[in-house]
Structure 1
Amino acid sequence: MSAVVVMLSGLASGQGKTSVTAALALAVRARGRRVVVFKLGPDFIDPMVLERASGGPVFNLDDRMVGLAESRHRVVQAAAQADLVLIEGAMGLYDGPPSSASLARALGVPVVVLVDAGSMAQTFGAVVHGLASYGAARGEPVTVLGAVANRVASAGHAAMLLESLPPGCPLLAAVPRVATTLPERHLGLSSEAVAQVDEALQALAQAMQTPPNSDCIDRLLALPAWQPPAASGDAVWPAPPATLAGRRIAVARDAAFRFIYPANLACLEAMGASIEFFSPLNDEPVPASAHALWLPGGYPELFAEQLAAAGQWRASVQAWVAEGRPVLAECGGMMALADGLTLVNGQRHAMAGVLVGEVRMQTRLAALGVQTMQPGAQTEALHPAMRGHTFHFSTMSTPLQPTGQCQRLDGSAGEPWWRFGPTGKGVASYFHAYFPSSPMHTAALLGAAP
């Protein structure tokens, strides 16, 4: 094990964790060194930017949806092939559960604290000191290596921030404001945002390699190599059974259907499946050679007019469902199969019309959190529930009776899910499934025999 492993966390959301983590990754690559990046929690959007910077897939880690054992395994794998492993935390350091602090402790990973210092001076040191000492005061210490100040106005400002820090807590970087910023979070990496993302990341990475930050990367790479906790060992993570061997899975992937965990694709391939991507937005039909269809989440509401006009796509999915073939439609994928989608401005667009119901967008969050799902009686008795999460701003109104109900972690009722189509092989829900949590349920959802 030779890699340095560091978590970047901080005061709250909106401090610039994704920007700075991505800039660090790009700067490390510019040195010719190997970097792997992870994201804490069930997030689809930040990993798009982090992948752009790191040049590799960005897997999620946490102790609820992913599970602590798999999270440890993935970091062990990454540490064996990289010089630096960066983990971007979620929200503030102690926000949760799960919190960035709790995962850092469980993985034995030190933390670099990031604070947006754009509107503060000496209070920066007080905030960093509080974040560093709060865990110890509660009997749950976190190892803080140092601090990064974001949106620093000048060299004089950086000097004040450095002077304010408590002894033993270095200022690893003072990241200046840059003219180009990352696009709004909900845009993710849509085609129109790629140029802006690349420009912003290059500017930030350059800032990480010029005074006063010239030695930041060297200081990180000079840290002691990570030693995995004894509980994780070097055990090989069990490969899933090859229950999808020989099956081709059609997967919608474009700007409207972009919420895909890399771990889900890796799980399907490890189970023996081949994956065939297609784009409903480009009016591509469901690949006729596929055995099952997966419609992941995304932003169909941003492209509702284009989806409504995609006649070839709509006809192909209508024929697919009419033939009783397997479909897994998650959140945005489910929205695209409904009769209609009404935007917040009241404009309605016809969708594929294979799932009876109407979807309506709203400005407030409808549901958020990790949940579990038992897809059916055939697999329920033999295998644990599938884990996943939900996050959506729309509601689904349908006369269909739910086939089942997901559960929140406190045991209360979560998202409903429905079977549809003449054979009941279509499954739709707002629930985003994390396939590695239950490969057997995954296979069943995609039409393979349990």
Structure 2
Amino acid sequence: MTEPTRCPAVLIAAPASGQGKTTVACALARLHTRQGRRVRVFKCGPDFLDPYWLALASGAPVHQLDLWMTGEDDCARRLEAAAQEADLIIVEGVMGLFDGQPSAADLAQRFGLPVLAVIDAGSMAGTFGALAWGLQHYRDGLRFAGVLANRVASDSHALMLQDSLREPDHWLGALMRSSVMTLPERHLGLVMSDELGDAMQRLDAAADALAATPLGQMSRDDLQAWAVPFKAPDLPGFPAGALEGRTVAVARDAAFCFIYAANLDCLRELGAQLVFFSPLADAALPECDALWLPGGYPELHLEALAANRAMKDSLAAHVRAGKPVWAECGGMMALFEELHTVDGQRHPMWGLLPGSVSMQKRLAALGPQQLGLDGGTLRGHTFHYSTCTTPLQPGTRTEAAPGRQLRGDGEALYVSGSVRASYFHAWFASSPEATARLFSAGPQP
């Protein structure tokens, strides 16, 4: 048997969301990448937006790790593959360290990842030490790398925070409050990096600030204190050639951008050829046998979508030809007849499904779910700020992830001819067989 591959790795966590995990993860990745090291970054949980920033910072694709949605074996395989080529692996946690089922702490404990705690210390002093102590000792068996104070007011404030630690060696420094390196947010999370002209400048500013801390001054040798052995089990292969000879068109632009890199890999491993297009800018679909409309922000591009009538006609022709369409969340929203904004304005959409979508001021649904389809069960999640009204009856509904409960009904799967649409975001590799059926299924009678 081959020996495990050892590589320095760290999981960046926090006591809650909004503490600055992504900023610190990006800063650390950018700093070591600038120093010529090969950095591979992962995101814990089903997040679409943080990976855009993490990929920009590291210069490499970013994949999700989730012990339920992506699966323990998949996590192990991706971590081992990264360890074989990287000098440092960074995993950004999700929410608070112990939040969720499974949590970032569960992932850290399963793979022996040292935990670096980021704490927003802007409005505290001695309590900083209590939080750090609690994060380290709340659960037995967690490796603790140390703690970094974020949004600190001054050098004297940083000294108070440092003095509050029971274990001084765990102090990894302080990042001062600064708008220069802040990553902007909106209703679904961070603004995408490619929407900002100064994205790299923000990352460099964060990396420069981190370089002045003990964390930022760790050398290649220092990083070996975080070394972790990674070993993946042998995994079964994908269904050979299940989508061989088929071309799948994938919408990809500012309006349709919630795409797991692993989902693209899954389609390719099934044999599909992928072609990309922009519903905002292109006049027609590329030549294809099937279509994927992923989630995103159609609500931010209503005028452009409505004005592109040529694309609407091309999509309608695809559906009339009986070619498969898989539309999830934002992709499904665009298929309805109208979208109603929170201020009551009505905007025409593509009209390929009867009904309308209404934006809400508050989150409408959130959580890990699974969808049973012909060929298997897809794991994934739901996260949206809109609701839909349609005469279509659900073909089926999602179920809660094991150990979780749904508030109300699961997400509907709507089937209309060759169109299958849902608010549900799927992780294709959780059932390659179901995925293959999704992109090769014809109209339902």
Q: CA deviation at 1:32?
A: 0.4
Structure 1: gaps spanning 5 or more residues: none
Q: CA deviation at 1:448?
A: 5.7
Secondary structure of the 2:139 match is helix
Matched, 1:203 2:202: no
Secondary structure of the 1:70 match is helix
What is aligned with 1:133? 137
What is aligned with 1:403? 395
Structure 2: gaps spanning 5 or more residues: none
Question: Conserved in 2, the CA contact under 8 Å of 1:283 and 1:311?
Answer: no
Q: CA deviation at 1:103?
A: 1.2
Matched, 1:304 2:305: no
Q: CA offsets per residue over residues 306-328 of structure 1, 9 Å max, x none?
A: 11111111111011111111100
Q: CA deviation at 1:179?
A: 3.1
Secondary structure of the 2:196 match is helix
Q: Which amino acid aligns with 2:432?
A: P
Question: Conserved in 2, the CA contact under 8 Å of 1:251 and 1:294?
Answer: yes
Structure 1 188/285 Cα, relative in aligned 2: closer, same or farther at 3 Å? farther
Of 425, 431, 436, the residue aligned with 2:429 is: 436
Q: Which amino acid aligns with 2:331?
A: G
Q: CA deviation at 1:135?
A: 1.1
Structure 1 59/211 Cα, relative in aligned 2: closer, same or farther at 3 Å? closer
**2-side partners of 1:4 and 1:18: how far apart?**
19
What is aligned with 1:166? 166
Structure 1 67/161 Cα, relative in aligned 2: closer, same or farther at 3 Å? same
Question: Conserved in 2, the CA contact under 8 Å of 1:338 and 1:356?
Answer: yes
Q: CA deviation at 1:164?
A: 1.4
Q: Paired residues, what number?
A: 431
Q: Which amino acid aligns with 1:245?
A: E
Q: CA deviation at 1:294?
A: 0.2
What is aligned with 1:337? 335
Q: CA offsets per residue over residues 70-129 of structure 1, 9 Å max, x none?
A: 112111111111011011001111111121111111112110111011222222111101
TM-score normalised over the length of structure 1: 0.91
What is aligned with 2:267? 268
What is aligned with 2:157? 157
Q: CA offsets per residue over residues 113-168 of structure 1, 9 Å max, x none?
A: 110112222221111011111113xxxx3221111111122322222222211126
**2-side partners of 1:177 and 1:22: how far apart?**
16
What is aligned with 1:391? 383
Q: CA deviation at 1:217?
A: 5.3
Question: Conserved in 2, the CA contact under 8 Å of 1:370 and 1:388?
Answer: yes
TM-score normalised over the length of structure 2: 0.92
Question: Conserved in 2, the CA contact under 8 Å of 1:356 and 1:398?
Answer: yes
Secondary structure of the 1:427 match is strand
**2-side partners of 1:337 and 1:214: how far apart?**
47
Q: Which amino acid aligns with 1:182?
A: L
**1-side partners of 2:139 and 2:77: how far apart?**
25
Q: Which amino acid aligns with 1:260?
A: I
Of 414, 420, 423, the residue aligned with 1:427 is: 420
**2-side partners of 1:238 and 1:168: how far apart?**
47
Question: Conserved in 1, the CA contact under 8 Å of 2:121 and 2:152?
Answer: yes
**2-side partners of 1:372 and 1:179: how far apart?**
39
Q: CA offsets per residue over residues 159-190 of structure 1, 9 Å max, x none?
A: 22222111264211312222322111447454
**1-side partners of 2:164 and 2:405: how far apart?**
46
Structure 1 61/214 Cα, relative in aligned 2: closer, same or farther at 3 Å? closer
Question: Conserved in 2, the CA contact under 8 Å of 1:183 and 1:197?
Answer: no
**1-side partners of 2:392 and 2:362: how far apart?**
25
**2-side partners of 1:339 and 1:389: how far apart?**
25
**Segment of structure 1 superposing worse, 203-212 or 30-39:** 203-212
**2-side partners of 1:191 and 1:227: how far apart?**
32
What is aligned with 1:175? 175
Q: CA deviation at 1:3?
A: 1.4
Secondary structure of the 1:165 match is coil
Matches within 5 A, 1:29-428: 29-136=33-140, 141-167=141-167, 169-180=169-180, 181-185=182-186, 186=188, 188=190, 190=192, 193-210=195-212, 214-216=216-218, 218=220, 221-228=223-230, 233-241=231-239, 242-287=241-286, 289-376=287-374, 379=375, 383=376, 385-409=377-401, 410=404, 413-421=409-417, 425-428=418-421
**1-side partners of 2:310 and 2:367: how far apart?**
35
**Segment of structure 1 superposing worse, 407-416 or 23-32:** 407-416
**1-side partners of 2:436 and 2:197: how far apart?**
38
Q: CA offsets per residue over residues 330-349 of structure 1, 9 Å max, x none?
A: 01000111011111111111
Q: CA offsets per residue over residues 25-68 of structure 1, 9 Å max, x none?
A: 00010110011111111111111111111111111111111111
Q: CA deviation at 1:366?
A: 1.2
